[in-house]
Structures are given as structure tokens and as C-alpha cells.
Amino acid sequence: MAVAHFGRGTRKVVVETASMWWLLLSVALLLPLCYGQKASLSRQKLEIHKHLKRLNKPPVKSIQSPDGDTIDCVHISHQPAFDHPFLKNHSIQMRPTYRLEGLFDGEKMSSAPKSSEGTKRPITQLWHLNGRCPEGTVPIRRTKRDDLLRASSVKRYGKKHHRAIPQPAKSADPDLLNQSGHQHAIAYVEGGKYYGAKATMNVWEPKIQQSNEFSLSQLWILGGSFASDLNSIEAGWQVSPDLYGDSNTRLFTYWTSDAYQATGCYNLLCSGFIQISNDVAMGASIFPLSSYRGSQYDISILVWKDPKEGNWWMQFGEDYVLGYWPGFLFSYLSDSASMIEWGGEVVNSAPDGQHTTTQMGSGHFPEEGFGKASYFRNIQIVDGSNNLRAPKDLGTFTEESDCYDVQIGRSDDWGNYFYYGGPGRNPNCP
């Protein structure tokens, strides 16, 4: 029998040949992966570039805000609203056909002691310190590349998650209410036909535990079913590090016609809301802010339906009519709202199984009262005669009153009001 003998040199050649084959095989396997990753990054870069181009319209003038924002003064007819196919030939309605009459037109502060009230100056926005937008333009907060990178996807940027709304009906499933980790402390009315709502709310800077959480205070104009086809118009103030990249308190709006599934967005981050004001930028920081046991500052927001044109208008303060949501955006709200809500909302997504420490409002419970707790005052609804009036049968709702609570009241100066909010995690809210 012949026996093959392999010397050291032969074994070396065999080993080197095998190593070479493994190297070639590894390269062959990794090349498609590397090219795939590179192609994916290129697609993402292109997608971000296109989206920024859609959102950031060419400005007539740009203003740098002290907080780092850039406010672009965009020609009124070039704003993102007109990317909507139904608005291609839309004639901008420069003023509502009706103005409202009602209670508290000359609103005044509480009869609380002057030492608690402090000095009350007009609320403004930080970018106003460095300039204003000219007539014929609208101020739009410029979206940055980093804003899009913080979002779960470019398509989801500027959108709330599904079921981000309180459903205070007694028949509601508690599991559904907490499905998305959103918690609320609200007052509400339901069961009638409502054509708008108004309230004055004081403005705070609540602390946020995690960047993917937020805290806001707002009013909701609602119609339809909560499950799939909810129509909602929302406006107020919020702190949202994920959306804005900081912890500033900002004016915001939101809308949806399908329960947050595909339609709608914050501010002007999609086509829909038509802005006419050159004074106020949605999504921009507001100041001054209320302080605990110190000065209290509040903003008034009014949303109402124009009975002639069918559009839903928004007014900020007593002087600024910001613009409108065209009636065709909605199904149920093309007629009227069936529920109005006012109050606070937070996201509870703490990963350690404990409740978040994200604050709602001032971060203090309602029983602490004026100068310490957050409030909504002069709460009103718009009736079928286009008049502001006090709501009847005002209810309250909160998922966990030991974390965030709400208490309603009524007085001559404040009409219907409530205090609300809380610290989140505490000995009674673990």
C-alpha cells in the first residue's frame, strides 16, 4: 500500500490555502451586507433631504431665536398647507366671517393676594426678541436634520402615537386607555353639539424624565369614535424633547381625522392648517413662564367653527387670529364636535417598571391652589348660535389620581375653572 507523506512545507501550503478560502468566503458574504447598509444609509439620507425640502419652504426673511431656533418668514401662499392636493387652488380666507360674543371678554386675574399673583406681563415668543415677520408672510419654525433623526421614522415625524387621547366614558376599557402609556388629568363635557371651546391656562416648564416622554396642557375638540375614525383638533403648550430637541415650553397645535393613524400632525409639519398670522409661530418657545409661589403667566386659546365657511379657526390671546383648519379635512367635525376636553397629558414610559417622574403642569397637585398648582380658568364652549357660554355638567377624569389629579370649581372672576397636575412618581404613585 502506498502511503502519502506531507512535509511541513506542504502542510503550510494547505493551511494558507484554507485561510485564503475562508477570507474570500467572508468577503463574499460581507460585501452584500456592506453594500446593503451603504444603500440603506443613502436612501435614508435622500429621504431626509426630500422631507426637509418639503417642510422648509424658501423664506423671505429668517430670524435667529435666542433659544437656537430659526424662524423662517415664508410667503403666505407658499406654506406647507398648500402641498395638500385639495388646496391647490384654494383662496385663503384672511379673516373669519363671524367673531364670537360671550362671557369674560375682558378677562381678569384671580382675586388672589397680590403677593401671590406677582407681576403679570404679556406672553410672547422668544424669537420676537430678534425681529418680526413682514406682512404677507407667516413665521415657520425651521425643521433640522437632527429633528428627523430623533423620530422613529421620517414618515412618523411630527405625529402622535395612536390612542394618545383621554376617553373618559365609564364604559372605556382601562387597558385601552393605558395602551400607549399616555396619562391625563382633564375636565370635559359630552353629549351635545359643540362648535368650539375656549380657556385660559397658566404656562409652566414641567420636568421630563426621558426624552421620549412629553408633558402638555391643551384643549381637545372631538368628534367620531375613539377606536378608528376620531376627529380631533388640539391646541395648547407642551414640553417635548423628542419633537423639538430641548425642554422649552412651546405653543403647539395638532389635528387628526382618523384617530392618529395616518392623517394630521403637530403645527405645520404636514399639509392641513392654513396660517394667516405673521406674529405667532407654532412650535416656538413662549415666555415668561409661571414660577412656584411666584408670578403666574397664562395664555388664552379659542378654537371655533365658522358657520358660513365651515372652517375651524384658532385664536391665541385676545389679539392673534392664527389661521384655520379647512372643514374638508374632517368627517365628523364637518358638522360639530360631540365632546370637548381641557387639561394635561403626559407619557409614562419609564423602563424600570416604576412610574415616570415626568411632571404634569407645575408638578404639584391641585389642592395646593393658586401660585403653586396649574390651572385652567374661564372654561367655555361655543354653542349653535355662535356664542361663548359656560359648559353644563362639567366632568373630570384621570387614570391615576395619586400621580396626577384634577379638581374643578367656579367663581365670579374665573367662571368654571380647575386645578390639575402632579409630580408623577411619589410614595403614593410608585
> From CA 359, how far away is CA 209, in angstroms rounded?
8
- Structural contact between residues 107 and 16, judged by C-beta atoms closer than 8 angstroms: no
Instruction: Identify the DSSP state of 115.
Output: H
**Which residues are catalytically annotated?**
234, 345
> From CA 424, how far away is CA 363, in angstroms rounded?
8
**Which of 186, 224, 177, 219 lies closest to 335 in space, CA to CA?**
224
How, if at all, do strands 137-141 and 405-411 pair? unpaired
Number of residues in the chain: 430
Cell of 142: 425651521
Cell of 146: 437632527
Q: Looking at this protein, which amino acid is placed at residue 63?
A: I
Cell of 417: 375653572
- Structural contact between residues 171 and 101, judged by C-beta atoms closer than 8 angstroms: no
Which residue carries 410614595 as its cell?
427
Which residue carries 422668544 as its cell?
126
Q: Which long-range contacts (CB under 8 A, 24 or more apart) does 48-53 make?
A: 48/145, 48/148, 48/149, 48/154, 51/148, 51/154, 51/157, 52/143, 52/144, 52/145, 52/148
Q: Looking at this protein, which amino acid is placed at residue 112?
A: A
- Structural contact between residues 414 and 378, judged by C-beta atoms closer than 8 angstroms: yes
The residues, any chain, with a CB within 8 Å of residue 71's CB and separated by 6 or more, are 62, 63, 64, 65, 127, 133, 139, 140, 141, 142, 281, 284
How, if at all, do strands 265-266 and 312-316 pair? unpaired
The count of C-alpha atoms lying within 13 angstroms of the C-alpha of 349, restricted to the half-sphere facing its C-beta, is: 12
3-state secondary structure of 101: strand
> From CA 430, how far away is CA 427, in angstroms rounded?
6
